[in-house]
Structure formats: C-alpha cells, structure tokens
Amino acid sequence: MTMINTLIDVRDGEALVAAPQPIVLEASELDIHYGEHWAVRDVDIAVEQNRITAMIGPSGCGKSTVLRCFNRMNDLIESARVSGSVAYHGVDLYDKAVDPVEVRRRIGMVFQKPNPFPKSIWENIAFGPRVAGIARSKADLDEIVERSLRKAALWDEVKDRLGKSAMGLSGGQQQRLCIARAIAVDPDVLLMDEPCSALDPIATARIEDLMREIKEDFTIVIVTHNMQQAARVSDRTAFFSAAVDEAAGVRYGHLVEFAETEKIFSNPEDERTENYITGRFG
Amino acid sequence: MALSTLSSAGKAGNSVDSQTLSGTMDWRGMLFRVLLLSSLVLTLLIIVVLLVDVVSDGSGVLTGRLSDFLHGTLRSRSSDEKLGLFQGLRGSVWIAIFVIGLAFPIGIGAAIYLEEYASANRLTHFIELNIRNLAGVPSVVYGLLGLTLFLNLFKRFTQGDTLVSAGITLAILVLPVVIITSSEAIRAVPNALREGGYGVGATQWEVIRFHVLPYAAPGILTGTLLSLSRAIGEAAPLILIGAITGRLGSSPGLADVGALREKFTALPIVITSWVQKSNGAQDDGVEGMGFAAHAAAAIVVLLVFVLLLNSVAIYLRNRFEKQRG
C-alpha cells in the first residue's frame, strides 16, 4: 500500500484521482443467504484503491449485508451463508485457508451507531494494535494513539483526557474515536456502515471532511441512506434496490447500477436509479 | 405566578383559570399506588419483626459471652460454659470456599461456552432448559445426590460424611443458578461491543476476555454471590450427608485442611439442632441463657456472615460498573 502511495501522490491534483486505480476488493456473483432466505442476489462490484465507494439504496436492499461480506463480519451471524466470491487483492476472502481475524485487521469497520468500548479513550485505540501485535510497549502504543487520534481529527479535543472513559464523549466524538480505533491497526480498507446516521449535521460534516482527508491512506467503502452524502463524498456509487421474487414471494436485494458518482447522479443509465435519486421512490 | 403567565399567554377570550387546568382525580392510579406501597411495607415489616425478634432473643449471648460463643463447641445435652458455634462457623466458611472454588469457575465457564461458543441449535436449547429445571430442584434432592455420590461411590476420596462431601454437594446445588445468572449477564452485553472488538481484528477469545467478560462482570458477580448466600443457608442437604447435630468430638482450626475429611457441622445445622433442644427441655443454661437464646445468637451470626458476603458483592459490582464508565 505504501508503495502505491508513493507512486501516485494523490495530493498532487484531482486529475490523478480520476486515473484508474488498482482494484482492492471485488465481489463477483455474490449471493447471500440468511437461513432459507436468499437475501442478496448476484452482486458484482469492484472497489478501487484510495477512492470512496458509496453504496446507496432503500432499506432492505442488502447494501449493509454486502458491506459486511467485505470483512467477513457476516460470519458472526450463524445463519448467514455466502456464495460467489469476494476477492481482496485477488485472494478469495472466503477461501478455507483465510483467517477472518486477519481479514478484519486489514479491512476495518466503522458501525452505524458509535460503539466505543466502555473503557478509557486510550484503551479504545490501543486495543487493536495490542491484539494485532503491532506494538506492545506503552511508548509505542502512546505514539499510535496520538497518531490515530490526530488522523481522526480528535486529538485536540481529547488529548487532556485520554485516561477518561470514552462514554463521556459526544456522539460525533465517539464516532471519530471509532474511526481512530479502526485506523490504529493500519488497515488497508475502511468499511463504514451508515457512519453518520446517528449524528447531527455538524458532526456529519466533520466525518465527511475526515473521510476526504483519510482517503489518501485508505480505501473507503461507505453505506449510506443519505444520497446527498454519497454525492458529496464518494467517487463511485453503487445503487442497490429491493425486488420481489415472484416465485417465492420474498424480497431480496440486488445491485442495479454501479458507476462514477457524477454519472449516477447526473446521467444514470437505469430508470430505477433515476427514480430513486430524484426522489420518486424509496 | 405560573398560572398568571399562562392566562396572559392565552388568546383573548380564551380565559384560562385554575378550573380549566384541574383534572379529575385518577382513583385507579391512586389505588394501585397504595397497593404497591403496602406490599413493600409488608415485606419490610416482616424483615424488621424477624430481625428485632432474633436480635432481642440473642442479645444476651451476643453481649454477655460473644467470644466464648464464637470459640466454643457443640455440647450434647445441657448448654454449659463451653457451648459455642465455632465448629459450625468453620463448616460454613469451608462450604463457602468450596462453592467459590468449584461452582464459580465451572458455572461461569459453562455460561461463557453456552452464550459465546455453542451454536444456537436444539441441543443447546435442550441443555439450557434442563439447567433451568435443575435450578428449581428442591435442595433435599441434591442431598440425596451427595449421599449417593460422595458417601457411597467416591467414599475413598471423600471419607464419607465429611466437609469435602458437603462442600462439593452444595457447590453442585448452586451450579445451575450460577450458570443461569452468568448466562443472563453475558447475554445482556450489547452486540455492538462484540462487533467493535471483531472489527479491529480481535479473536473470539480476545473479544470475550477484554470486552464481554468485563462488561458482564457486575451481573455475574451479583448473581454468583447471591447463590453463595443460598448455599450457606442450606440445611436440608447437609442433614442427608450426615452433618453432626449432637456433640462433635474434635474442633480443628479454621485453616486445618487435613480436617476437611472429618465429620462436620455447619451454622444452619447448629441452629436447627439448638432450636430442637430448646423445645420443652429443662435447661438452665449458661448464665441463665438456654439453647433458645443461643440459637437466636447463631442466627444473628449467620445473618452477619451472609450480609458480609453480600456487601463484598455490592462493593465489587460498583467497582466494575465504574470501570464500565
């Protein structure tokens, strides 16, 4: 990752950002079952390096479910079953030899509701690097804690109370702490599952600024209910929708259209996408 | 003041006075409130009467000869100046140690497995259901189990009717309760906490060790220590296992581990036997205090013992909760 960063210096200009990027994550013919229920069908999506990929769509269209396949978070739900393939730099994440713990260290996650550990701010950040064996000494961990908090634009607000409980922070601060916690283990990809849905507009704007800043270091995939948010922050947008399986009489989610964000919002190819983004349904 | 503000804020013509704002009396709500309050008062009243009765009966012994009483031993017939409950206290302390040492680790371990590792299938549900049923089994039945297992089958290990048999039997008695309360505490841990742990690349064990258990600790502690109080108050299973009610020959020290394989007694047994002896017996007793007064004093000692354990539980729970933030 560092090598690629030195090759393409994103700060040099927008032109470089638009250049085709290597593909980090690629789902092909992805099907997800919950028990008997075939919840998500036939999704093909590719996530490019150092860009923000947004997944939008109405409730129940499977976008969060797909996101959770990218770091095998679905493993935690006993009835969930995944078929097709999800390749991470060409390696199938669902291969038997792949350790989900290692996957989640490289592909971090920020959740819908801020979920800091009920421990000190310092402990929240240090936990990941410690269990990953990245750092053991207090001094090394101190350094990681400061670096992560600075990157998450939270350092100035909390530097005097690192030993205090993280539960005392505001919702927006908690969510930035969760971002700091996720980037402390130096992941390659950050998955964000509606990270702003529990936040007010000011906290939301801060998180969006933060996403634009850290995308030079990370590849970001964000699920959002908020179309404006997708339009504001993302480079590429995937529109998911729910459809009804007439034979079985059940709803399932599928990918309708996936393209550059600008194209999705100005000139979508699929009529359903256009209806959704113009507010005619969903 | 508030009313005048209200009426001045009201539109012209819409006059607001105290009549408009007064509601009808909510009689049903009041009735329920009184009913609920009276059930609380009744409960408290029973406890107070019990305490006052026991303390006043035992006060002579507790103030007159407390040290002798705590160090003395069981006597066979009359209550002489050597009468005391040391042997019973020792038995109860060791029973507590057995429960803490056996039932707590095994019970909490089983609960962690059931909640965190076992897959939610029919077998797991069946096992959970049975643990719940076991918690409702009368304690005498556990006494029978102890009788079969430790007085007959494993006699070579326990030496029959000894403190070892009693301790293990009572540990088994509270095991289901420990498992149930620990399971409930673990189940109450928010899933978001687990996800947060997994999300930064922790293994299942690391998530359990660093996040689930610390969060569940207050609940686990409260439940397990309450079950310990129950074990200490049990008399029925101990009678089946052969706790001594009469004179107990030896009186080994509290830390005498070798004496765990000797005949034993415990506080609830001491209390039962003294109460029995006080019924209709002609007994002048020590300093004019008979078995009845000593039984009351022993109850106070047992209560203090249990209260001490509970306050440890409350202290630890508060500490863990503070850490939780």
Helix ranges restricted to H, B246-290: 267-278
**Which chain B residues contact residue A108 at CB under 8 A?**
199-201
Contact A71 B199 (CB under 8 A): yes
Q: What is the pTM of this model?
A: 0.81
C-alpha distance from A18 to closest chain B C-alpha (Å):
30
Contact A111 B192 (CB under 8 A): yes
Instruction: Return the CATH class of domain A3-277.
Output: alpha beta
Residue A236 binned pLDDT confidence (cut-offs 50, 70, 90) = very high
- Establish if B8 belongs to a structural domain: no
**Which chain A residues contact residue B194 at CB under 8 A?**
76
Structural domain count of chain B: 1
- Which of B200, B213, B323 to mutate to test binding with chain A, by most A CBs within 10 Å of its CB? B200
Helix ranges restricted to H, A2-120: 2-7, 14-18, 63-69, 100-106
CA distance linking residue B182 with residue B111, whole number of Å: 6
- Model pLDDT, residue B35: 95
Judge whether residue A16 has pLDDT over 60: no
CATH classification at residue B194: 1.10.3720.10
- Establish if B78 belongs to a structural domain: yes
Q: Tens digit of pLDDT per residue, chain B (325 long)?
A: 444 444 444 455 567 777 777 777 788 899 999 999 999 999 999 999 999 998 888 887 777 777 777 777 777 666 566 777 888 888 888 889 999 999 999 999 999 999 999 888 899 999 999 999 998 889 888 888 878 777 778 777 767 677 888 888 999 999 999 999 999 999 999 999 999 999 999 999 999 999 999 999 989 988 888 888 888 888 888 888 777 776 666 667 666 666 666 777 888 888 888 888 777 555 555 555 677 788 888 899 899 988 888 888 888 888 888 777 5
What count of CB pairs under 8 Å joins A to B?
Answer: 75
Residue A17 binned pLDDT confidence (cut-offs 50, 70, 90) = very low
- Establish if B243 belongs to a structural domain: yes
- Establish if B79 belongs to a structural domain: yes
Contact A181 B201 (CB under 8 A): no
C-alpha distance from A202 to closest chain B C-alpha (Å):
24
- Establish if B46 belongs to a structural domain: no
Which of B119, B202, B215 faces A118 most closely, judged by CB atoms?
Answer: B215
- Model pLDDT, residue B24: 76
- Establish if B9 belongs to a structural domain: no
- Establish if B3 belongs to a structural domain: no
- Establish if B304 belongs to a structural domain: yes
The helix (run of H) or strand (run of E) holding residue B50 is helix B27-64
Tokens standing for residue A156: 């100035």
Contact A109 B199 (CB under 8 A): yes
**Which chain A residues contact residue B325 at CB under 8 A?**
118-119, 165-168
Residue A6 binned pLDDT confidence (cut-offs 50, 70, 90) = very low
Q: Which residue of B has its CA nearest to A121?
A: B325
Ordered by start, the domain boundaries in chain A are 3-277
C-alpha distance from A239 to closest chain B C-alpha (Å):
25
Which of B196, B198, B325 faces A165 most closely, judged by CB atoms?
Answer: B325
More confident residue, A162 or B3: A162
Contact A111 B195 (CB under 8 A): yes
CA distance linking residue B79 with residue B83, whole number of Å: 6
Q: How big is the CA angle at A233 (ends B201 and A44), to the nearest 5 degrees?
A: 65
Half-sphere exposure of B98 (CA within 13 A, CB side): 24
pLDDT digits (tens, 9 = 90+) for A45-62: 999 999 999 999 988 888
ipTM: 0.85
